[in-house]
Chains A and B, each alone.
Chain A
Amino acid sequence: MRGVRNGARLYTVDPRRSESAKWADIWLGIDVGSDIALANGMARVIIERGLQHRDFIANATTSFDDYAAKVGEYPLDRVEEITGIPSDVIEEMAVSYASAGMAQIVWTLGITEHHNATDNVLALINLALLTGHVGRYGSGLVPLRGQNNVQGGGDMGAIPNKLPGFQDVEDDDLRARAERIWNHTIPPKRGWHLTQMFEAMAAGKLRGLYVIGENPAESEADVVHARQALEGLDFMVVQDIFLTRTAQMADVVLPAAADWCESEGTVTSSERRVQRVRKALEPPGEARPDVDIIGMLARGMGADWGQPTPEDAWNELRLVSPMHAGMSYQRLEELGGIQWPCYDENHPGELFIHGRLWKQPLESPPAPFIAVDWVPPVDRLTNDFPYRMTTGRHLDGFNTGVQSAGYDSPIRTGGTIDISPEDADRLAIHDGDLVKVSSRRGTIEVPARRDLALRSGLVFMSVHYGEDADVNQLTIDTWDPKSGTAEFKATAVQLQKV
């Protein structure tokens, strides 16, 4: 908002007229799942008008011609038809983005919770490469993280294909270096991501599961299917601070201390800033910090690691991950957090990354344009399922609600199906009326709420109220093959007043 007040232009692309949209110079009420068409259409405009950054493209990128040919297939009239956004507005945004001295593209799950999530992101990266809005102060690509340490989890290597610090596990040299430090062999092939794990469970190939701080029995798309997969396991351990729905299905529950206030450690925010979390409370009962639990399990399995403190574990991470090497606890304390990469104890960290792309001549690999095509959401709208349902959060809620349900919020609306006034009138639905919401996978009954932020044809449900409004019985578990993310944002539903 400080930027907007200082005169920055803000375009909000969102199917709903969100709070951010209300502050935008222009709100583009896009149809769900048409983002690639919009990005490609913008690119076509930029190239037609010669507004691309020719020097940057020549010096730092490859495959521009393929990309230009692909976006050529997206004239504005076609894009208008796919996205529902008037061509002149798309044109204005394209010109404004390309001509700005600095410009950022900021996104969150509206881009990534689709069956073609990675392509959605690539379409945005292409725009930044096209205009040189990357790797420079004030410009960039900014994926906002929805959880306090989802960035840190990836940084630490808690993803199937990376060692700590995003080092590829299938790179023999990088793996050998980590093996030397750990004095232990690491499997040379990437593991399964979450969605693949659920498929393996369904196929009977994955028989045991150790879940730490996640609630898939409520958060997975097509959740009835997911619960069946969890029930079919031989053995499940859940380590959590709550007895979640998933924990209730477990053979063993390991009570954990809350990481942000009952134990010590670090988290990494959206802007790659590593910050300390500290113990302010004694954990309840027999709950223990995750580091202690994992250490005890290791001892039980015959590997005695002693009693490492969180700082010990962190210092080991600094040996394995070069981009964290300079981040001692003492420096994190003194500097109020450090943004990676931070290669040594004299390095202040980096405000932005990818600056290497502006080196002339380029000393590192160029960034390729990867042309992508628009495809519609998998769950098609038909006469039987004519409404597009999308999901998201409320300001006062969080994910499956196990944390945010704990406090009494004066602005909590509870689980509702939000409907545009036009559709509500047509269906004679009033606030609070019970509505039967059906998708191709299930049916739930929830109260209705009329919402001026929605356009006709679009309905919305939040994800926080699984007990009253089990929205993931409706969502589709079709998922992006590269990221494993399910298409939570695009479900076809039918509404019927009860």
Chain B
Amino acid sequence: MISLTIDGQTVVSPEGATLLEACRSIGKDQPTLCYLETLAPVNVCRVCVVEVEGSRTLVPSCSRKVEPGMKVQTESERVRHSRKVVFELLASSVDLSLVDDSVQEWMTNYQVDPGRFGDLAPLVDDRDERHAGHHYENTGTHAETVFQPVKVDNSLYVRDYSRCILCYKCVEACGDDAQNTFAIAVAGRGFDARISTEFDVALPQGACVFCGNCIGVCPTGALMFRSEHELRASDLWHEEEQTVTRTVCSYCGVGCNLELHVQDNRIVKVTSPIDHSVTSGHLCIKGRFGYEYVQQLGDLATTPIDDVLRRAREAGTV
């Protein structure tokens, strides 16, 4: 066990634990965007940074391991300022309207003011179609954004990169950390960096196997079920009316747990709990999308059971 202090409080953590885990063990949660328990930390979002005495730079708490005698500040002016600016840069360039409430709370906590960079730049063209390296020089009158049209190139899910904060979670889930398919990666540099398939081909033309594990880890709604996207577009997405029921996938014998999000007696989305031991929240195409058969009701032959019994009695077979 390793002893350290966090905001003056002594904490004892197991060897190998991260500063984030140590913070959480004493009820001091830290904001995170790119961190997820089931993925290897990629240290890109920088909102979980904390100040460690003797360290020249702020350190990412999600991946820095605890060390004996460490003195950690999570609420110092330097930490608060850094987090505030990171959130402001993101909120001024990305559509964060679908991030979950906890992120909104952090932004309020750090008094985030994205408007100070000016109004959002208008959507000019499809960023992904620009020549590599090309970007419009900012006039200084508005905040540059990552806005571009929604990509709807397949039947199962959409990619709305105007909402993408480049947290890499989708890349990690598609690659080393879960699916090992490597259908997407980060393309471009600097502000032009974006998530892309090879040569920006449509998903069905690439390596994608449509497991949807990227949707499962996306924190901003950039990756979304097509059903959810279309219901939202028609103003028919009513999350407050939805029920979420845990069950087991109807296909193979792995036993993946499903959370069925149901609205008006229809499944509108399928997620999987990341804290379940069987697959840690990951599914395949059948588990995540293969539910339609229970709600495509054609002219099913329905035979009232009482009639069946009556007819059988008349026929003398029971």
Chain A residues engaging chain B, CB cutoff 8 angstroms: 1, 5, 23, 144-151, 235, 241-243, 247, 252-255, 258-262, 267-271, 273, 275-282, 284-288, 293, 296-297, 300-301, 336-337, 395-396, 398, 402-411
Contact B286 A398, beta carbon cutoff 8 Å: yes
In angstroms, Cα B209 to Cα A426, docked, is 31
Contact B245 A279, beta carbon cutoff 8 Å: yes
Q: Which residues of A contact B204 (CB under 8 A)?
A: 410-411
Give the contacting residue for B250; candidates A148, A285, A300, A405; CB below 8 A: A148
Contact A410 B155, beta carbon cutoff 8 Å: yes
In angstroms, Cα B294 to Cα A280, docked, is 11
Contact B180 A409, beta carbon cutoff 8 Å: no
B35 within 8 A of A: no
Q: Which residues of A contact B180 (CB under 8 A)?
A: 1, 23
Q: Which residues of B contact A243 (CB under 8 A)?
A: 300-301
Give the contacting residue for B294; candidates A235, A258, A405, A411; CB below 8 A: A258
Decide: A261 near B303, CB < 8 A? Known: A270-B253, A281-B265. Answer: no
- Report B284-302 CB contacts with A as 1/0, cut-off 8 Å: 1110011111111100111
Contact A235 B317, beta carbon cutoff 8 Å: yes
Give the contacting residue for B286; candidates A276, A285, A300, A396; CB below 8 A: A396
In angstroms, Cα B259 to Cα A276, docked, is 12
Contact B247 A277, beta carbon cutoff 8 Å: yes
Decide: A278 near B245, CB < 8 A? Known: A261-B291, A403-B251. Answer: yes
Which residue in chain B gives the minimum CB-CB distance to A399? B251
Give the contacting residue for A252; candidates B154, B243, B277, B308; CB below 8 A: B308
20 inter-chain pairs at a CB distance below 8 angstroms, sorted by A residue, are A1-B180, A23-B180, A148-B249, A252-B303, A252-B308, A252-B312, A269-B253, A270-B255, A273-B255, A275-B255, A276-B246, A284-B300, A407-B292, A407-B293, A408-B156, A410-B154, A410-B156, A410-B204, A411-B204, A411-B210
Contact B210 A406, beta carbon cutoff 8 Å: no
- Report B266-281 CB contacts with A as 1/0, cut-off 8 Å: 1100000000111000
In angstroms, Cα B296 to Cα A402, docked, is 12
Which residue in chain A gives the minimum CB-CB distance to B309? A300
In angstroms, Cα B317 to Cα A380, docked, is 46
**B37 CB, nearest partner CB in chain A, Å:** 14
Contact B294 A285, beta carbon cutoff 8 Å: no
Q: Which residues of A contact B53 (CB under 8 A)?
A: none
15 more contacts with CB within 8 A, not counting A243-B301, A406-B292, are A23-B180, A254-B303, A277-B247, A277-B248, A279-B245, A281-B294, A286-B305, A300-B309, A403-B293, A407-B290, A407-B292, A409-B210, A409-B289, A410-B155, A410-B210
Q: Which residues of A contact B260 (CB under 8 A)?
A: 261, 280-281
- Report B135-153 CB contacts with A as 1/0, cut-off 8 Å: 0000000000000000000
In angstroms, Cα B195 to Cα A321, docked, is 53
Decide: A395 near B285, CB < 8 A? Known: A403-B251, A410-B210. Answer: yes
**B111 CB, nearest partner CB in chain A, Å:** 41
Which residue in chain B gives the minimum CB-CB distance to A151? B253
Q: Which residues of B contact A252 (CB under 8 A)?
A: 303, 308, 311-312
In angstroms, Cα B297 to Cα A285, docked, is 10
Q: Which residues of B contact A23 (CB under 8 A)?
A: 180
Q: Which residues of A contact B93 (CB under 8 A)?
A: none
Contact B301 A404, beta carbon cutoff 8 Å: no
In angstroms, Cα B253 to Cα A398, docked, is 12
Contact A296 B309, beta carbon cutoff 8 Å: yes
Q: Which residues of B contact A150 (CB under 8 A)?
A: 253
B233 within 8 A of A: no
Q: Which residues of A contact B124 (CB under 8 A)?
A: none
In angstroms, Cα B171 to Cα A479, docked, is 46
Contact B245 A280, beta carbon cutoff 8 Å: yes
In angstroms, Cα B306 to Cα A403, docked, is 28
Contact A145 B252, beta carbon cutoff 8 Å: yes
Contact A398 B247, beta carbon cutoff 8 Å: no
Contact B251 A148, beta carbon cutoff 8 Å: yes
Q: Which residues of A contact B255 (CB under 8 A)?
A: 148, 267-271, 273, 275, 337
In angstroms, Cα B251 to Cα A268, docked, is 12
Give the contacting residue for B209; candidates A151, A395, A402; CB below 8 A: A395
Contact A5 B254, beta carbon cutoff 8 Å: no
Contact B294 A241, beta carbon cutoff 8 Å: yes
Q: Which residues of A contact B304 (CB under 8 A)?
A: 286
B176 within 8 A of A: yes
Which residue in chain B gives the minimum CB-CB distance to A22? B180
**B128 CB, nearest partner CB in chain A, Å:** 19
In angstroms, Cα B304 to Cα A144, docked, is 38
Which residue in chain A gives the minimum CB-CB distance to B153? A410
In angstroms, Cα B308 to Cα A253, docked, is 9
Question: Which residues of chain B in 140-183 are interfacial with respect to chain A, using CB atoms and an 8 Å cutoff?
Answer: 154-156, 176, 180
In angstroms, Cα B262 to Cα A261, docked, is 11
Q: Which residues of A contact B251 (CB under 8 A)?
A: 147-148, 398, 403-404
Which of A241, A273, A409 has most chain B Cβ within 10 Å? A409
Q: Which residues of B contact A148 (CB under 8 A)?
A: 248-253, 255
Q: Which residues of B contact A297 (CB under 8 A)?
A: 305, 309
**A329 CB, nearest partner CB in chain B, Å:** 13
B43 within 8 A of A: no
Give the contacting residue for A147; candidates B253, B266, B305; CB below 8 A: B253
Q: Which residues of A contact B311 (CB under 8 A)?
A: 252
Contact A336 B276, beta carbon cutoff 8 Å: yes
Q: Which residues of B contact A151 (CB under 8 A)?
A: 253
B257 within 8 A of A: yes
In angstroms, Cα B284 to Cα A259, docked, is 20
B203 within 8 A of A: yes
**B36 CB, nearest partner CB in chain A, Å:** 16
In angstroms, Cα B286 to Cα A395, docked, is 8
Which of B246, B247, B276 has most chain A Cβ within 10 Å? B247
In angstroms, Cα B296 to Cα A244, docked, is 14
Which residue in chain A gives the minimum CB-CB distance to B306? A296
Decide: A280 near B247, CB < 8 A? Known: A296-B305, A301-B318. Answer: yes
Contact B247 A406, beta carbon cutoff 8 Å: no
In angstroms, Cα B313 to Cα A146, docked, is 39
Q: Which residues of B contact A406 (CB under 8 A)?
A: 290-294, 296
Decide: A260 near B250, CB < 8 A? Known: A281-B267, A409-B289, A410-B154. Answer: yes
Decide: A300 near B176, CB < 8 A? Known: A279-B245, A410-B156. Answer: no
Contact A146 B252, beta carbon cutoff 8 Å: yes
In angstroms, Cα B176 to Cα A242, docked, is 39
In angstroms, Cα B254 to Cα A375, docked, is 32
Give the contacting residue for A411; candidates B209, B245, B250; CB below 8 A: B209
In angstroms, Cα B208 to Cα A261, docked, is 28
In angstroms, Cα B250 to Cα A403, docked, is 9
- Report B51-74 CB contacts with A as 1/0, cut-off 8 Å: 000000000000000000000000
**B57 CB, nearest partner CB in chain A, Å:** 30
Contact A396 B210, beta carbon cutoff 8 Å: yes
Q: Which residues of B contact A301 (CB under 8 A)?
A: 318
Contact B247 A147, beta carbon cutoff 8 Å: no
Contact A281 B253, beta carbon cutoff 8 Å: no
**B295 CB, nearest partner CB in chain A, Å:** 7
Contact A281 B295, beta carbon cutoff 8 Å: yes
In angstroms, Cα B250 to Cα A241, docked, is 13
